[in-house]
Amino acid sequence: MASALGSELSELNATLSGRIASLESQLTQLESEVRFPVTIVDALNRTVVIPSMPMRIVTLDPAATEIALAVGAGGQLVAVDNNSVLYLPPPFNDTVHEMVANGSLKVISSTYSSPDIEQIMALSPDLVIGTAGWGYNNYIASTLTSYGIPVLLLPSSESLEDVYRAVIMVGEATGHVNNAVKLVESMSAQITAVERSLANASYVNATVILWINPTYVAGGGTFINDMMTLAGGVNVFQNLSGWPVISSEDLLQANPSVIILVSNGGLFNASSLYQWLNSTIGPAYVNIAAIKYGRVYVIGGWYESAMSEPAVLTPMAVKLLAIILNPQAFNLTSVPQLITPSTLSPSLLANQG
């Protein structure tokens, strides 16, 4: 079983590496900075033309903001959504907070489903970057485009490859394509380092719970499912696509060996899960393997952002999952059941590639 895991991980990472190499080959013909105008086909298959290097960029969600900062476009940002202020992981949160404090960056009052278009337009942006898949995508793209404002919608990230694609798209759109390519190479190297550590590990049946009652989990065709596979896990709900709602009976029947719960800013903990299960199926819930053997883990702090936002820290999230599923592969005898930067050092997640 261990050799099968190593073989499949090698095959998956080889495929990703091959596609990155192909992309890099295409991009070597470009100069250190993209020459404008730039034409990009975005995640909705829309042709987006950016006539000149954008200097007034607005980002609409944390993933878009994180990627823009990571490729070197921070100085071109004029506004971000309020979720970026609240939920970005370090070091990006420090950068955003400093820019907001000194007045160089505005904050758009928004939710993921309804950003304030009037606020955006008042800033006279020359590029707006968001993520396809949220409720606003078609509406905001059509509305702002009708006023001549380019809107680039990134992939909603069904896989790690989509994350890489989003990084490259932002690099091209902002004039930092070389930085973007180097960043993707670094991310790929981090995944390879995790793969090497898992060469002799075994698959572990697991699930990632994102919300309780209604209980949402990561299903198949999602970046979390892809991360779990790379981390040596088998998603017990991979037969359900997207972000399905499951019942307590579904969880009991799936019987994962590991349950990973996102705390949502401390809203949920293991007791929240047990109370929901007990109220619906009674004491039978203790027979779920993860509960029976004490392998329920709660992700908190900024690790939540790394886990739930498909962006630059996704490789760190892959290693976090790998440590939870196979701690012995990383010379750990156990991991804390509440996993935050305070209880599990970020230095343990920093791959050198």
How confident is the model over 265-278, as pLDDT tens digits?
Answer: 999 999 999 999 99
Query: Coil, helix or strand for 108?
Result: strand
Q: Which of 132, 147, 140, 139 is nearest to 63 (CA)?
A: 132
Q: What is the CA radius of gyration of the chain?
A: 21
How confident is the model over 169-213, as pLDDT tens digits?
Answer: 999 999 999 999 999 999 999 999 999 999 999 999 999 999 999
User: Which run of H or E residues covers position 246?
Assistant: strand 245-246
Question: What residue segments make up the domains of the chain, in order of their start?
Answer: 2-192, 200-349
C-alpha span between 212 and 117 (Å, rounded):
32
CATH topology agreement for domains 2-192 and 200-349: yes
Alpha carbon 134 to its chain's center: 14
Tokens of 313: 């820290």
Q: 200-349, what's its fold?
A: Rossmann fold (3.40.50)
Residue whose structure tokens are 């942006």:
125
**Least confident among 20-24, 330-334, 336-340:** 20-24
The answer on pLDDT for 1 being more than 80 is: no
Residue whose structure tokens are 């047990």:
274
Percent of the residues in the chain that have a pLDDT greater than 70, as a whole number: 88
How confident is the model over 80-117, as pLDDT tens digits?
Answer: 999 999 989 999 999 999 999 999 999 998 666 667 88
How confident is the model over 101-111, as pLDDT tens digits?
Answer: 999 999 998 66
Q: Which CATH architecture has domain 2-192?
A: 3-Layer(aba) Sandwich (3.40)
What sign does the dihedral 130-135-138-142 (CA atoms) show? Answer: negative
Q: Residue 111: what pLDDT?
A: 61
Q: Residue 139: what pLDDT?
A: 81
